[in-house]
Amino acid sequence: MAGNTMGRAIRRLPATYAYVAVLLATAAWMSSRPGREQARFIRHNSSNIHHLEVGKWWTLFTSGLVVDGVPVLLGIAAVAAVLGLAEWRWGTLRGFGVFLAGHLVATLLTEGAMWLMHLAHLPGVLARARDVGISYGLVATASCLLALGGRRARRYGLPALTALLTVAWVINHELADAGHLVALGLGVLGARTRWLRDRARSATSAYAAPAAPQAAASAAQGVMSPKPVSGLVASSTEDGIWIHWELDCANPWDRDPVVDTNVKSFELYRADDNGEPFKHIATLPGESAENGFIDAEIKRNRYAVYYVTTVDLTGNESAASATAAGTPLVRIKQETPGTPKSLTAQSGSGKVELSWQPNPYDTPSPSKYLVYRYDTGRLNPSLVFETDATTYSDSRDLEPGASHTYRVVGVSAKGEEGTLSDATQVTLP
Distance in angstroms (rounded) separating the CA atoms of residues 141 and 101? 9
pLDDT digits (tens, 9 = 90+) for 249-301: 433 344 444 456 678 888 999 887 665 678 888 888 876 656 678 887 776 55
Distances in whole angstroms, Cα of residue 118 to Cα of each of 49, 52, 104, 152, 186 = 9, 13, 20, 42, 24
* pLDDT given for residue 22 in this prediction: 92
Helices (H), 71-174: 72-90, 92-119, 135-147, 151-152, 158-172
Spatial contact of 329 and 293, defined as CB atoms under 8 Å apart: no
* pLDDT given for residue 250 in this prediction: 39
Task: Tally Cβ neighbours within 10 Å of residue 99.
Answer: 28
* pLDDT given for residue 256 in this prediction: 47
DSSP notation for 35-90: HHHHHHHHHHT---HHHHHTT-TTHHHHGGGS--SS-HHHHHHHHHHHHHHHHHHH
| Domains of the chain, start order | 2-203 (1.20.1540.10), 223-326 (2.60.40.10), 341-427 (2.60.40.10)
Spatial contact of 426 and 392, defined as CB atoms under 8 Å apart: no
Q: Report helix angle 158-172 to 135-147, nearest 10.
A: 150
pLDDT tens across the length of the chain (429 residues): 444 445 555 677 889 999 999 999 999 998 898 888 888 888 888 887 777 777 888 888 988 888 887 888 998 999 999 999 888 888 888 889 999 999 899 888 888 887 787 777 766 556 566 777 888 999 999 999 888 877 777 788 889 999 999 998 888 878 788 888 999 999 989 888 877 766 655 555 445 555 555 544 544 444 566 788 888 888 877 677 888 887 654 333 444 444 566 788 889 998 876 656 788 888 888 766 566 788 877 765 567 888 898 888 888 888 888 888 877 765 545 567 878 888 898 888 888 999 998 887 766 678 899 998 887 766 667 767 888 889 998 888 888 888 888 889 888 888 888 888 888 888 888
Q: Any idea what DSSP says for residue 290?
A: G
Local structure of 246: helix, strand or coil: strand
H or E element, residue 177: helix 175-191
266-301 as b/e: b if 16+ CB within 10 A: bbbbbbbbeeeebeebbebebeebeebbbbeebeeb
* pLDDT given for residue 255 in this prediction: 44
